Structures are given as C-alpha cells and as structure tokens.
Structure 1
Amino acid sequence: MGLFLGIGRAITNMTGGEKKAAAVVTVSPEGGETIFWGKGRCWTCHSMGDRGSAVRCPNLGVYGEKFPLPIGQRAAERAKEREKQTGLPYTPTDYLVECIGNPSAYLVDGYKNEMAIVYAPPISLTPDEIKAVISYLQSQGGEVDIEAINNPTEISKKYWDKIHAASAAGGGDPGHGEEVFQAACLSCHALKGEGGNVGPDLSNVGTKGLKYISESILQPSTTFTPGFETYVVIDKGGRKFVGIKTKEDASGVDLILENGEVASIAKGDIKEITQDKNKSIMPEELTEAITVKDYQDVLAFMLMQKEKK
C-alpha cells in the first residue's frame, strides 16, 4: 500500500495536481554554465580546461596533448567521425545532443561509459536545461547555434524524444523503462510486432498521453480497450475461465487467459457466459511488483511509443 500511495503522489505531481515554483532557465551559454557547474553536476565527471579537477570523463576544454581543442570545436571534428561511422549527416549539434541522449554512442579512447543519464533521477535535467548546457558547450570555441538546438535534425530528434518523454514522466529513464517493459509487459502486450496478444498492442500508446497510461497501469479495470473486455465462462463441470474472448460461434468459445494460453470451451459444455465490466485481466498488483523508479522509467518508455503511419 505504501508503494501504491507513493506512486499515486508521483502521478499527482506529474499530471499537475501539485504545483511548485520552478526556476526559469535561459537557453543560453550563461544559463548552461550555471547548470553545468550547478544542478547538472557535470563538473563531478568533466573538467573544463584548468577549471575543475574531475578526470572521470574527458576534459571539455583545452588540456594537454590529448585535448588540444575545446569542446565547441571538438564537436565539429567528432561530428565528422560519427558521419563516417554511421553514414548519417551529423552536425556538431547532433554530436552534442547524442552525447547527452546516449552517452555510450561515442566513447573517447581511454574512458569508460560512466556518464550519468542527466535527464533521469537523481539529476533530472529538463529539456530547456539540457538545451542551455548544449549552448554552453557550443560556446567553448565553437559557434552558438540556438536555432539548431531548437530545430533538431532527424538524428537529434530521436534523442530529444527520449528527453521529453523522461521529463513528462517525472524524470524517468526510457532506456531502463524498456527493460522493465520487456520483463513485465511484453508477454501480454505487443510492441512493434513482438510480444503477446492478451492485451492491446502498445505500439502507438504514447499518443494517448501520460494520464491515460498512468491510469491503465495503476487502475487497469477503469479503462477497457474495445475488443479486450473480460469474459467469464463457467462450464457444466463448475470450472471457471476468465479471459479475453477471441471467438464465439456455433462450436463454442475461445478465451485468451491471463497466462496467454487459449481455452476452448465447447458450446455444449457451457453453463454460463458473462462479460465482467468491472474487472480487467491485467494484474492489479503490478504496482507491488515494481519500484517507483521502475514505474517512472516504464512511463517514459511508453510515452515514446508513437508508431509512424
């Protein structure tokens, strides 16, 4: 119950029930510098030339033979490398966005994949805060291009989709959310051609919004997708079958049960068949099986599911 209440409070905050004053972030190098050396805690891993002492991740300024160029200029060189590696037309801004959206995409020789996902807890930078940081990095020897930041290419857009989804879900990590989804949801729900058919296909669920997805997870019996209503069949031997009706004809009824198995009950064996309008076969106790962080992460992942037609 404690976890359920905790998740409930999280939803209240995410859907606007509890408002708190938020600091205004200017998408500018000055705003980004404040985030870099403050809330973003970038300085715990990166130094900027002689400023800072962190060595866990690459120095982003001019520093010794290994880093002869500041990150603003270095981004242009890295973009050329990424273009050669992927065959895609990378811009310096694409490279910087990718570094934040997917830190493992490009690793500098001699460094491990240890950069934090800054749009997920505990840092949870907002999209505007991340834009500000990118402009600050651009200003380090490069050209500040706010227009490029605000109008992403197809390369950058996929990372911004993750960042915006994470922000909408209260700071969830879509990458980990995908792992949670595969472990807890994929056996019943299809996604992009894979998974089960006990519940609705979720390939386009992101278009339904945060409130709908939240309620569908926490209170699955409040919303039924047409075609996925729960039916109860009792046979003449007293056995009870509960599931989604996939067939009913002169020969009998087929139900997909919660475990994914199909129960076929012959017409002559059926004593009673009713629709349970108050109960979904999706487990109500799901909130007891996952943590609040798992919940936020899977929300962020599901908000990204917007199938292109």
Structure 2
Amino acid sequence: MIRDSNPFLEPEEAGRMSSVDLKIVLVVLVTLAAYTVVASVIPQVESEVPMDIAFGAEVTPEELVEAGESIYRGAGGCVACHSESPGARGPNLLTDYRGEGLIGERCADRVPGLDCKEYLYQALVRPNDHIVDDYPPIMPPSDRALSQPQIWAMVAFLQAAGGEVTVTAADIPDEPGAATAPAPPPAPEPGAAQLADAPDVFRAQCVMCHQVGGEGGPIGPPMDGIGARLSEAELRLAILDPEAVIAEGYEDMAGIMPPNYGEILTPDEIETLVRYLSGLH
C-alpha cells in the first residue's frame, strides 16, 4: 500500500512538506487580499482620451463652459499640475492665487495689451511665453493634444472662474484644429512603436511630455524601448513615485512629473499603462 503520492518520502517528511505548501498558499492569499484592499481605497478618477467637439454658430457661454470644464478636469490633464496640493507644478487657477483672485479675475492683468480671452488662449497654446512667477517652463502647448474647439472651450471655462465669458463661436475655427494643424510626422520604421497604438490613458495623460515613435512632447524621456530597460515593477514605481529613479540625462527635469497619478488614475488604468509600456521593446 502506497502511503504518499511520492514513494521516496517518509510520512514525517511528507507531512512537513504539506505544512510548508499550506503556508505558501496562505502567504499568497494574504498578499492578494492586501493588494485588493489597497486598490479599493485608491480614488477612482476616470481619465479619458481627448475627443473632438464641435460648436454651432448659436453656441451659448454655458455650453462652452460645460465642455471646457469636462476637458480641464479630464482629457486636458490640467489637474495633474494645476491644483491646491503642496508642491503643485503650476499655479492655482480655480482658487484665489496670492490675493489676486481666481484666474477669471486676474487674467486681464497678466500681460499688458492682452485682454483676458487672448491671454488665456496664448497661455494654452504658447505657455512658455507667459511663465508665472518661479514655476518651471514645463507645460507643453495644448494644441499638441487638443483641437481648437477644445482649447477655446477651456478658455471659456477659465474665464468663468471669477470673470465674464467673452468667447463666442466667432473665435472658434470651423474645422477642429485647422488653425494650428501640425505637419504630419515622418513615417515610422517598420515594426516601430506608434502613438496610434497607445491606450487611451497614455494618450490622455502621458503624450504631452513623453514621445512614442517620434510623436508627443519632448519634456520627459521617450518611451520607445522602455519595456526592454525596466521591469513591470520598475515601471509601476516610475508612475506612482516618479522621484524614485530619475532617467539618465533628465536630471534637470526632476520634480516635473506629477507625483499624484495614484490619485488621478484608477488601478486598472495604472496596470494598463504598465502593460503597454512593458511591451515597448
């Protein structure tokens, strides 16, 4: 009669191994439970890919403001830098700033010769022309990722923060992005990563600073080949704690990447990013 599935083990030794196996199973179960609890308490803030919008000739200020707020808090990625959080990368826009009021109150006084509407538009499409105080020049032009109707809707939303909305349909080009349509990028090499293949969350949150296949912002390191250089654990850490490891050659950019993606993104979105980046070889 065989007393154990492995005839080479004595009963006492087989019992010890069963005990060890049970402990391993328990450790795995506890670890999975811990990750589940952590994921459940991370704020679930949905990001979204910038979707084109269009406005008719009779568009109202209220419609523009509503659309602009949706873009500002979502697809535009503005809240990653413009917040009340300590160490925010940009000035507060929707709360009082150093006694000067909300952005809609102070925008007309920022640059001599520019009214509020024109200043806000220029600050979005040529942000480095109008640096505020000692903030670093890290904001990419919004027309890299957003269309003209989206940008003008955000102007209306920012004007409404303490001021009067003066944006009208006459300000918005008929064709989304027509006024600033960039030249098409060079064709990628066969097999090269392309931005069009990136998930929505990457195009909504990362493309303004990181390039893939030559497309995107040049502020941070390009993502081409990142999966061959970093493990999934290292990629996850780089997203949640960007100060942990600074990419070689980008030391001067330390502190630029927002540290609050654990709050801005959902756990699923973070894992989507990790899987996508790990596949860029």
TM-score band w.r.t. shorter chain: 0.3 to 0.5
TM-score normalised by L of structure 1? 0.38
Q: Which has the higher contact order (CA 8 A, sep 6+)?
A: 2
TM-score normalised by L of structure 2? 0.41
